[in-house]
Amino acid sequence: MRDLFFYGTLRHLPLLEIVMGAAASALDLRQAVLPDHAVLAVQEGPFPMIRAQQGANAKGLLLRGLTDEQITRLDFYEGSFAYDLRAVTLEDGEQAEVYFPQPGQWTAQDPWSLADWEADWAAISCHAAREVMGYLGVRDRDAVARMFPMIRARAASRVNAAASRHGAGTMQGRIEVAAQERAYSRFFALDDIRLRHERFDGAMSGVLDRAVFIAADAAILLPYDPVRDRVLLVEQMRMGPFARGDRACWQLEPIAGRVDAGETPLQAARREAREEAGLTLGEIETVAEVYASPGNSTEFYYIFCGLADLPDSITGVGGLETEDEDIRSHTLSFDALMALVEGQGAANAPLVLAAFLLARHRDRLRATA
């Protein structure tokens, strides 16, 4: 049996329960203090690190009597963040072990606040932990660490889903999941699910075999210059048309990118505009908040039209090298955009939606430019 001291996010009991696979009431927990150590925020992520600091006191939880199986679960979770156990002596003289960051792994910042973290990150972190712990015994912790940006983005999507604005007037029926298995996970994920759901006549359906594509939410933006009456589109090779055997694998589309954990869809739209086209946006109009294909995918689009200055010199080739992006930008007059859309030359659904919203509000946007 071993005793561990937790100073950071695992002090949030719902998260600890997910990682431990047990209710907090079944764990031997008490408050404790580790002297001459400080808990500091980490620049690279919404979690803390601990380091020796004379005169400081790290408050936390002591979890006693851990089995080898429980240590394995903790090692798997904490190891994904590059933390390893070290022996320490607590304020009352009791011995314990603490997860310290690997040397040079993280950049320490100001003192870390559990209350602030709980307000901003607890819900996302609990969703992410469920996915992480689902890989125990399936993938090693280094593989999970490489996947973690997408795990966290998928977790943020679940938090966003709880605040969705659609659904008024629709049925709020029962859904019973008989089995759910992750068939694939890397950049995206795929789940096989067996479930029953309530029917409109009040009866339950039979057990249905379904599969669903799991993706992060995306922010999509059509930049519009109301003075020049033109838009900017980007062009890049797309896997969907390639896998379908489309003759046109390079597609014209709005600026787009995933909504990262910790940012709003609007913030993501502005960031992607800078990254993909070097644009600084003015006012932004909301076009739609929609599922891409609700029958088989979680992918959810926040679509916007943003006002921008689009001179002839704005076009070129860009994108982030770190994400292997190769993006060419184009400017089109409003009339050319509508000819493209109405002539079935645009195969991108968000582009078509944004174009028709722009057509509806174009006169207002030009009048106030």
Domains of the chain as residue ranges with CATH: 2-154 (3.10.490.10), 175-214 (no CATH), 218-367 (3.90.79.10)
Q: Rg (Cα) of the chain, in Å, rounded?
A: 25
The two tokens of residue 96 are: 């314990």
Give the single-character DSSP code of 297: B
What is the largest distance, in Å, between two alpha-carbon atoms of the chain?
A: 77
Classify residue 235 as exposed, middle or buried by CB count within 10 Å of its CB (0-12, 13-18, 19+). Answer: middle
* Catalytic-role residue among 91, 181, 276, 323: 323
323 is catalytic: yes
Per-residue pLDDT of the chain (369 residues; tens, 9 = 90+): 899 999 999 999 999 999 999 999 999 999 999 999 999 999 988 999 999 999 999 999 999 999 999 999 999 998 777 788 999 999 999 999 999 988 888 999 999 999 999 999 999 999 999 999 999 999 998 899 899 999 999 999 999 999 889 999 999 999 999 999 999 998 899 999 999 999 999 999 999 999 999 999 999 999 999 999 999 999 999 999 999 999 999 999 999 999 999 999 999 999 999 998 999 999 999 999 999 999 999 999 999 999 999 999 999 887 777 777 889 999 999 999 999 999 999 999 999 999 999 999 999 999 988
Which residue is it, tokens 């968000």?
350
Helix (H, G, I), strand (E, B) or coil at 363: helix
What does the alpha-carbon distance between residue 309 and residue 77 come to, in Å, rounded to a whole number? 46
Q: Which helix (H) or strand (E) holds 43?
A: none
> Among 79, 75, 134, which Cα is nearest to 102's?
79
End-to-end CA distance of the chain: 69
Per the CB < 8 A criterion, the answer to whether 310 and 232 are in contact is yes
